[in-house]
Structure 1
Amino acid sequence: MSSSPHIRDNMTTSKIMLMVVIALLPASAFGIYNFGVPALIMLISTTASAVLTEYIYEKLMHKKITIGDYSAVVTGLLLGLNMPPTAPWWMGALGSVFGILIVKQLFGGLGQNFMNPALGARCFLLISFTSQMTTFVYDGVTGATPLALLKSGKAVNSMDMLIGTIPGTIGETSVIAIIIGAIFLILMGIIDLRIPGTYIVTFVIFIGIFGHFQNPAVGFFDAQYITAHLCGGGLMLGAWFMATDYVTCPITPKGQYVYGILLGILTGLFRLFGGSAEGVSYAIIISNLIVPLIERVTLPKPFGKGGEK
């Protein structure tokens, strides 16, 4: 926290988290429409498990019950949106328990976790159940995601990726639905453009320059190739809803720009030169771990004794 004077505001943690939940509803609704009842069951499973885990832990530890701040709801909902609709419900529930108990509560609860709990849970599930977490079915057909096709040099339909009629996780497919939620958060003053804007611009520059080296058939700054990368995978969901997590992103303005640049470079590296077609989750988690260093370097120096004159 910066030094005084401070501005008083009636905004509370519960109000902020509730607005994030509202902003996630378009992506959730489209995911349910796109993938049907299995998506609804998964979202209920992850959200209910996250809230229940937080309540039981705090009850057993004789701590103040904090499920009313909706942070557990946000964690569960985000994890559900990052799950394949074909994964069993218990897998999502297990991920929520890990995210809330291990990543969040054992490090002190809300405000003390060192990485985004939802992404920590997703990476835990990716490592533990790789096959189920990377198998996608759309319209009854098992197939590769557009990013996987793109990585193998095949053509993809960018319009389908924009609308969301593609295989993928429950909440990442429709860019339109995600942007609607993001605009709501911006208008409500919950997030600004520093982190997501810097993230996306850096990623576009990286993909525009190095996409040719990964796939020689792609020209420098190929518009269709860049658009497909922007619409594919969890980039938009991660940039607007997870990279902007108050707890795990820098609080300094300069630090937020550095953080966004780091996210864009890491995501580009993982997508183009890594073994997987996706890389958003790992990019955000690695950047979360570097946030203390970013803040230390970008912390404004005070004027006066011992500071700049």
Structure 2
Amino acid sequence: MSKLLTISPSPHVHTSDSVNKIMYRVIFALVPALVWSVFMFGFEAVKVTFIAVAACIAFEFLIQKYIMKEIPKITDGSAALTGILLAFNVPANLPVWIIIIGALVAIGVGKLSFGGLGNNPFNPALVGRVFLLISFPVQMTSWPVTKQMVVDATTTATPLAILKEGIKNGQPVSDLLPNLPANMDLFYGNMSGSLGEISAIFLLLGFGYMLWKKVITWHIPVFILGTIFIFQGGMWLINPEKFIEPVFHLLSGGAMLGAIYMATDMVTSPMTHKGQFFYAVGIGLITVLIRNFGAYPEGISFAILIMNGFTPLLNAYIKPKRFGGKK
């Protein structure tokens, strides 16, 4: 019986792609944004990224070898990618020990506790990021000033935090605009935030590369950003003194990073384009609701994790027509 050939259900697709190629292509797509982060934050950006990547790889090796009793698969690039994405979601001045805790949660809880790559229902880097945000809110919201900012301080607030605090205190948006960076500054990354929040143009450059290499499709990023634009734009048209215009929300915070690099995770996102539509619209809508009405100025991390939980449901009930089947 052991010699019998087991064939999986059709269709059978042959491709030269592999897990390693896909992971390293995504890492390569993130290089321009990483270089810009180093330019803006200096050695701190290098330190945070190196520690996050090294810790993720180390924890994956140790857990797989000594707890799961498996051959470690640290060369496939998935642990390194998780480390880079984790680093892109935290401040450049985050203490080393907190980064290591985040890496342990991302790999140990978000990934390997479910069986490893291909089995995790939630994006591991976001699991680590949200855990750190809830556990260490002060450190996770103390953003260092960039080398290009001329301010008499060592830390500052992000544009979303400035907007959130001002509206909370009853200030109209028109009074807050002088304290907020212009959209072109947001586009080029001349602002404070995490490593992955200050480089919209370079994140889009990586997006173009991944589309070219067919690592991802355009559906999820475009549907997420389009939903944010439409819903935020509608609220802005209704009350422009309480809600800021939608382009600001697209270019600030983690909207670009989340929509392009984290919501598109093949393991945690729906398989069909129709399922991806509902998944992406859910992410965009939840992000807008949290940013405008929630306790946190940013909401895309929570939105992606929430919709990750709906992915199995979307895959189960939204399926393509079987070959030869009825419509």
Task: Tell me the TM-score range normalised by the shorter chain.
Answer: over 0.9
- SS of residue paired to 2:289: helix
| Identical counterparts, % of pairs | 40
Q: Which ranges of structure 1 fall in alignment gaps of 5 or more residues?
A: none
Indicate if the aligned counterparts of 2:228 and 2:246 stay in contact, CA closer than 8 A: no
2:129 aligns with 122
Indicate if the aligned counterparts of 1:45 and 1:90 stay in contact, CA closer than 8 A: no
CA distance, structure 1, for counterparts of residue 297 and residue 289 of structure 2: 10
TM norm structure 2? 0.88
1:112 aligns with 119
The one of 24, 40, 47 equivalent to 2:53 is 47
1:103 aligns with 110
TM norm structure 1? 0.93
1:272 aligns with 2:292: yes
Displacement of 1:143: 2.1
2:16 aligns with 10
Indicate if the aligned counterparts of 2:228 and 2:249 stay in contact, CA closer than 8 A: no
Map 1:154-233 onto structure 2 (within 5 A): 154-155=176-177, 156=180, 157-211=182-236, 216-217=240-241, 225-233=245-253
Please tell me the root mean square deviation across aligned C-alpha atoms, in Å. 1.7
Displacement of 1:86: 1.4
CA distance, structure 2, for counterparts of residue 240 and residue 196 of structure 1: 5
The one of 287, 302, 305 equivalent to 1:282 is 302
Displacement of 1:276: 1.4
CA distance, structure 1, for counterparts of residue 115 and residue 136 of structure 2: 28
CA distance, structure 2, for counterparts of residue 270 and residue 107 of structure 1: 28
CA distance, structure 1, for counterparts of residue 321 and residue 257 of structure 2: 34
1:297 aligns with 317
Map 1:64-83 onto structure 2 (within 5 A): 64-83=71-90
Letter in 1 for 2:48: M
- SS of residue paired to 1:53: helix
1:149 aligns with 2:178: no
CA distance, structure 1, for counterparts of residue 300 and residue 77 of structure 2: 24
Letter in 2 for 1:146: P
Displacement of 1:141: 3.8
1:308 aligns with 2:321: no
CA distance, structure 1, for counterparts of residue 202 and residue 282 of structure 2: 26
CA distance, structure 1, for counterparts of residue 228 and residue 317 of structure 2: 23
Large movers: runs of 4+ above 4 Å: none
Between Structure 1 and Structure 2, how many residues are aligned? 301
Displacement of 1:4: 1.4
CA distance, structure 2, for counterparts of residue 138 and residue 75 of structure 1: 25
- SS of residue paired to 1:248: coil
Indicate if the aligned counterparts of 2:221 and 2:259 stay in contact, CA closer than 8 A: yes
Q: Deviations over 1:136-191 (max 9, x none)?
A: 12144422211122332311221211111111001211101111111110100001
Indicate if the aligned counterparts of 2:269 and 2:276 stay in contact, CA closer than 8 A: yes
Indicate if the aligned counterparts of 1:164 and 1:173 stay in contact, CA closer than 8 A: yes
